[in-house]
Amino acid sequence: MRHQSLLLGGIVLATLAFSAVQPASAADTKIERVYGTYCVQCHGLKRNGTGVNLPALSVRPRDHTDPKGMGSLPDDEIFKAIKTGGLSVNKSVLMPSWGGTLNDKQITEMVHYLRTVCKCGH
């Protein structure tokens, strides 16, 4: 018992120490997790346009794994679509604008991330 509680105390202390040094800035969130928070609701866990909201969407979200479709979009259009929404690049309003949620650095990182998802780097 004494050993157990010592061990337990050690774990608790270690956890506390560990969480104290965790980064606290939003900008430090891994980009996969940013995608998993905001984009997965429509583009899906498979990232191919099959999110949980798909049945409610009249336009299919872009398949981010499709090298051809994504390959045809230049980086600046992808950036614009994410920052100011589908309408701003003559696409559906169902692709929302994320400029009020993500900063330019995160959106740039997202564009790079999408290039790895489609394996269609420019």
Partner 1 sequence: MRTSLPMFMGLGLLALAPMQAQAGGADILKSQCSACHALSKPASVTIDDLWTRKAPDLWYAGDKFNKDWLVAWLQNPTRIRPAGYPYFKNVIKGPKHDEIDESKLKPHVHLAKADAEAVADALMAMKPDGVVQKGIYKGGSVNMRMGAMTFDKFRGCIACHKGADGKGGFSGAELTDAGKRLQPDYIASFIKDPQKIDPHIWMPTLAMNDRSIQMLTGYLIKLSGQEKK
Minimum distance, C-beta of residue 29 to ligand HEC, in the bound complex (Å): 12
**Which one of the spans 7-15, 21-29, 80-88 is the region binding ligand HEC (CB under 6 A)?**
80-88
Q: Per-residue contact track with ligand HEC, 50 to 79, x per CB under 6 A?
A: ---x---x-x-xx----------x---xx-
Helix ranges (H only) for 27-100 are 31-34, 40-43, 67-71, 75-84
User: Which of ligand HEC, partner 1, none does residue 118 bind to, with CB < 5 to 8 Å depending on kind?
Assistant: none
Distance, in Å, from the CA atom of 113 to the CA atom of 107, rounded to the nearest integer, reads 9
Buried b (16+ CB within 10 A) or exposed e, 25-56: eeeeeebeebbeebbeebbbeebbbebeeeee
User: Which of partner 1, ligand HEC, none does residue 110 bind to, with CB < 5 to 8 Å depending on kind?
Assistant: ligand HEC
Tell which one of 11, 45, 119, 121 touches partner 1 (CB under 8 A): 45
Contacts with ligand HEC by CB under 6 A: the residue count is 24
- Of 52, 12, 23, the C-alpha closest to 36 is 52
